A and B are shown apart, each in its own frame.
Chain A
Amino acid sequence: MKPLKSLLLAGLVLASAASNAAVLKTDPARSSVAAVFKQMNVPVEAPFRSFTAQIDYDAAKPAASKASVEINTASFDIGDAMYNKEVAKKEWFNSAQFPKATFVSTAIAPAGAGKLNVSGKLTLKGKSANVTFPLTVKADGGKQVFEGQLPIKRLAFNIGEGEWKDTSMVADEVVIKFRITAAQ
């Protein structure tokens, strides 16, 4: 029973590896996704501690690239347990009902040396929007680093409901800043 199961699993892994030959192995320790926003004009940058990124990129065929990111919304870390509990609530991420925020690319176009223009679907708190943002690709010690910033409006995704809608308290503009490091 057990050997058969592992054999099956190994077969599956091999099959998926074969069909996605160009998927890069990401290095979570050297990757980050953070949200940057202003609270009463005070700049705050807080990371999502848990996320996975899949990048299918070949420098020779950039237009054939694909990228998807899955973020655990409950892993948002403002550096204080009380804050972190608040942002997981219904008014903010509603992590109980919407545990994941996702981004799936629809088109990636080369835009000069080391630059790509990425279009795709961002889904946050059950709402989806088509977004486009620039991405840079750099080689760093045998690895590839993908970096970019995606500005969004939090209220378009109902992030901050009720009295938290007040943009003089928390600004509507939020920049999602990311850096994904992957093996060559």
Chain B
Amino acid sequence: MRRYTLPAIVLHWLIAITIIGTFTLGLVMTDIPGITPTKLRYYNWHKWAGVTVLLLAALRLLWRLFNHPPQYADEMPAWQRGAAHGLHWLLYLLMFGVPVSGYLYSLAAGFPIVYFGVLELPVFISPDPALKVTLLAVHYWLNMLLAALVGLHVLAAFKHLLVDRDGVMQRMLPISIRKENP
């Protein structure tokens, strides 16, 4: 079975690692009571990581628009292809939606984002206490949705690897695992 191209595989795993790291950091930092230097540091790292996800997602979308992903296994039923396709587009949507909602939340809270402490990113909304509360809720629930969809995505991948054994997951693995049958 044909695998994804190298740029697609690299971007997939870079984004996966960055999303999991940023998400975990988000849970850890919001759990720190009060205000401490560690908490502020984590908040800044979280924002930098989120902007990184956004940049990688933009590259990935560009790749996806100009490349067809490799075929699914022939024996995959139509409803599963449809479900996989829908889930992939939802994941794309959230790869943008989650960082953008966080970016806007930070602006509404009155804190511009300075990428890696060097590059000040555009400020296009002014501090707004009411909007800030709304955007925090939006950011939180988009994250929960993303976590649920990533869980589904991972479960489906392992179903293909362990139950169907149809080589669908191998298309995206960083190293090629040869199928046992010749």
Contact = CB atoms under 8 A, between A and B. Distances in A.
Contacts of A86: 34-35
A30 to B, nearest CB: 19
Interface string A66-83: 000000000000111011
B44 A40 contact: yes
Contact of B109 (A45, A80, A85): A80
A169 B37 contact: yes
A86 B39 CA distance: 13
Most buried by A among B35, B110, B111, B120: B35
A97 interface: no
A42 B112 contact: yes
B26 interface: no
Contacts of A85: 34-35
Contacts of B109: 79-80
In terms of DSSP, what is the predominant structure of the interface of chain A? mixed
B174 interface: no
A44 B34 contact: no
B122 interface: no
Contacts of A45: 110
B73 to A, nearest CB: 49
Contacts, number: 42
Contact of B111 (A42, A163, A164): A42
Contacts of A20: none
Contacts of B70: none
Contact of B118 (A41, A44, A80): A41
B110 A44 contact: yes
Contacts of B117: 40-41
A43 interface: yes
A169 B41 contact: yes
A39 B110 contact: no
A83 B132 CA distance: 15
B86 interface: no
Interface in A138-184: 163-164, 166, 169
A166 B37 contact: yes
B155 interface: no
Interface string A84-96: 0110000000000
B129 A42 contact: no
Contacts of A78: 110
Interface of B: 34-37, 40-41, 44, 109-114, 117-118, 120, 127, 129, 132
19 contacts: A40-B44, A40-B117, A41-B114, A41-B117, A42-B111, A42-B113, A42-B114, A45-B110, A79-B109, A79-B110, A79-B127, A79-B129, A82-B34, A85-B35, A86-B35, A163-B36, A169-B37, A169-B40, A169-B41
